[in-house]
Structure 1
């Protein structure tokens, strides 16, 4: 075989694009007992781990999701009824550890208003990197919906750059304790929280 061709083939072999491998799992019990590795598709350059705690009335659920992601920052959100932490990394199988459980992240001293039912006068304690208060308004089935709470600055930056979040009509972030107002609303929906969360994880 020609020496030049051999050298070229070796070069191609060693410089071929490396596909990232990440762990994949979904658990609604708060523990990924079985997680399998997968090769990420082209354009997915991060491994992600999400830990969400939802509390509606006396019912509390914990969910963990791990997968490949196109891009994602590590962040957290607290809307009162749902708290979420997200960890991202960019090396093979780096999402072996779960994202931190939101209830275990240390409060940072900031507080924001949150909504429960028709009242948005409840307050939540922000944790970790949650340095902004947020108010998101939307419409679902002809009914208005509002969610309020604490978010990381990265979420506010993302919504400013790409404002078209499904089911969400407006997002306002602010700095300072309780800066997102306590006005009552027509209704507050869990779906709006889920729309926000899924949008930030997939874009």
Structure 2
């Protein structure tokens, strides 16, 4: 047997029985009581997340869990009437997600503008904040359309549709979301509405 093939088979046997261990918790208002969990074989990273949800009032959601690398994104989605920011750190050694993540998202205007919907019109202008460098238009399963500002990392962060988000488009440019542009499917977009991380 070729020595290279033997080494690959040997490594496969040793790694086959290994499963990553992560801390897991879900908590609102900054309280997150962690416990150890063994990850499924397809989840190869430990995640620690702080989500800030804002509207008339704002609150923080803390979470720790096993996850997949493509879900590890930072940024915010701002629909004018509500904004959700996600600060996330991922690592790939046992129990490496013990620390809480600070909220990295800025509320400082960055000079970009996008349209948003206020329930009557989707032609209201919104000042984008922090890393929100793209405009977004999303259609929900309820047939409601929402528009606003979004960080590019969130646009690029997912590839699966959910039952809550039918489709969405991201575009770059001043007020570029007045009409739908390139349609993509996005797992991450459902987080601002339905706290995906809390039911994951």
The TM-score bracket by the shorter chain reads 0.5 to 0.7
CA contact under 8 A between 2:21 and 2:36: conserved in structure 1? yes
SS in 1 for 2:117: strand
Asked if 1:173 is matched to 2:179, the reply is no
Instruction: Answer 1 or 2: which has greater strand percent.
Output: 1
| Structure 1 match to 2:101 | 99
Give CA-to-partner distance per residue, 1:17-66, whole Å, 9 cap, x none.
4322222111111243x322222121111122232222343x32221121
Cα–Cα, structure 1 residues 117 and 192, in superposed 2: closer, same or farther, change >3 Å?
farther
TM-score (structure 2 length as normaliser): 0.68
Aligned match of 1:82: 83
Report what 2:49 is aligned to.
50
Gaps of 5+ in 1: 1-10, 183-189
Contact 1:83 1:102 in 2 (8 A): no
Question: How far, CA to CA, are the matches of 2:21 and 2:119 in structure 1?
Answer: 42
Flag structure 2 segments of 5+ consecutive residues without an equivalent.
1-9, 180-188
Matched-pair contact (CA < 8 Å) for 1:52–1:102: no
Aligned to 1:16, what secondary structure does the other structure show? helix
Q: Please state whether the residue corresponding to 1:15 is helix, strand or coil.
A: helix
Do 1:132 and 1:175's aligned partners in 2 also have CA atoms closer than 8 Å? yes
> Are 2:64 and 1:63 equivalent residues in the alignment?
no
The equivalences for 1:13-24 within 5 A come to: 15-17=14-16, 18-24=18-24
2-structure distance, mates of 1:106, 1:68: 32
Larger radius of gyration: 1
- Could you tell me which residue of structure 2 aligns to residue 156 of structure 1? 155
User: Partners of 1:35 and 1:106 in 2: how far apart?
Assistant: 33
DSSP 3-state at the match of 1:47? strand
CA RMSD after TM alignment: 3.6
